[in-house]
Structure 1
C-alpha cells in the first residue's frame, strides 16, 4: 500500500510503473486526497476515450486534468486571467479545479466540445508524484461508473472498473468528502460550477479581498 505521506522507495517504484502504463496509453486507478481517480494521458485521444468508456460517462461531460506545475498550463490553456493567478497561488496544490479556455490541441473528448478545460495541481503526494513521473497532464476523474458514488477505499471499486483498468495504485482508505471545488474563470465574474472541499464563500471572499 502506498502511504499518503511522501512516497517511500517502494512506493515510488509502483508510481513509476503506473506512469509507464499511462504513457503507453493505459488507465490506472490512483489515490487522490478525497477519492480514488482514473488516470490516463490527457493528451492521448484514445486513452481519453477509454476513460469515458470505462466510466460509461456521457460524452458531453468533460474530464478535468491534473498537472504538476503552473508552467504546464501554457501547453493546454489559451490564457490565464488575473483572478486565476491569485487563486492558484492561494489554493494550489489542493482542492480547487480552475476552468480555463482550452487550446485546440487537446483531445475533443477531453473538453466534450466545450472549448474549456478544468485543471488543478493535486494536493495528495501520490497523485502529484504520479503526474510528475508521467511528465504530462493526466485525467483526474473519479474512479466510478458515471452517476454512482465515488470510492474512498479500493474495496469499493465496482467490478466494471476493476476489470477495465490496467493497474491499481493502492493507497488505503482515503478521507472521502466532496472532492474539488470547480471554478470557471472564462467568465466575468468567475463562477462556481461545483462547490466541494473549498467553500464558495471562501473563494468569493478571497477574490473580493484581492481586488
Structure 2
C-alpha cells in the first residue's frame, strides 16, 4: 500500500495530526517526517522491531548506527553516558539546530541502535514538527535520513514517497525543507573532538565555539 500523506504546517503544526502520527510511533511503525534540514525516518528507538524495520526500509547496513532526535538538552543527556563538557558547550551554542553530537550511549539504549558500537549520535532540530511530535510521543525518536541507503537524501515529502512510499505507512508533508545540506556531525570523546561530516554548520564555527 502507498504511504498515507498528511500535510502539516512546519511553523504551527496541527496537534491532531501530531497525535495521529505519534500513534504510529507507539505501534512500532516507521514514518516519514520533516526536519529543519532534510526529511527523516521517525521511529521508537527503544522498540527493537521498529529499529529493525528502519534498516529494512532503508536497506541500511546494520553496521551503521541510527541517529536520534530530541527536543531538549536534558533529554539528550539521558541518552548519553558521561557526556564530556564539550557536549554541553556545543549543545548550548548550536541547539536547536543542524548539529549532531556523537557520544557514548547510555546503557538504557538498545545496543542495536548503536550498531553494537556503544556510541550514539543525537540532535535537537530547529523544527516545531519534530519538537511537538517528540512531546506527543513522550520520548526521543530516530532521525536517520528518509531515503534508500546510497540514494539521494530527500528535501520534500514528494521525494520521500517516490523512494519509500510503498515501505512507509505515513509521511508528514511540510513542503520543501529549504535545506540542501545535512547536519554537521561532531564526535566527542573525553576532551577531544573531530568532525565526522561537515554539513550545514562549518568547521570554523565549531572551532570558535570550543576555543
Q: Which residue of 2 aligns with 1:182?
A: 185
- Whether contact under 8 Å (2:32, 2:160) holds in the other structure is no
Q: CA deviation at 1:146?
A: 0.6
1:145 counterpart SS class: coil
1:169 counterpart SS class: strand
Q: Which residue of 2 aligns with 1:60?
A: 63
- Whether contact under 8 Å (2:84, 2:190) holds in the other structure is no
2:192 counterpart SS class: coil
d(CA) in 2 for partners of 1:26, 1:67: 18
Q: CA deviation at 1:109?
A: 2.1
Q: CA deviation at 1:159?
A: 4.6
Q: Give runs of aligned pairs for residues 11-30 of structure 1, distance below 5 A.
A: 11-30=14-33
Task: Report the RMSD for the aligned CA atoms in angstroms.
Answer: 1.4
Equivalent of 1:163 in 153, 160, 166: 166
Give ranges in structure 1 of 5+ residues lacking alignment: none
Q: CA deviation at 1:6?
A: 2.6
Equivalent of 2:106 in 90, 103, 106: 103
**Does residue 35 of structure 2 align to residue 35 of structure 1?**
no
The number of residues matched between the two structures is: 205
d(CA) in 2 for partners of 1:160, 1:200: 31
d(CA) in 2 for partners of 1:91, 1:74: 15
**Does residue 94 of structure 2 align to residue 114 of structure 1?**
no
- Whether contact under 8 Å (1:77, 1:117) holds in the other structure is yes
Q: TM-score, normalised by structure 2?
A: 0.92
2:41 counterpart SS class: strand
Q: Which residue of 2 aligns with 1:138?
A: 141
Q: Which residue of 1 aligns with 2:132?
A: 129
- Whether contact under 8 Å (2:33, 2:39) holds in the other structure is yes
- Whether contact under 8 Å (1:153, 1:173) holds in the other structure is yes
Q: Which residue of 1 aligns with 2:175?
A: 172
Give ranges in structure 2 of 5+ residues lacking alignment: 1-6
d(CA) in 2 for partners of 1:100, 1:189: 11
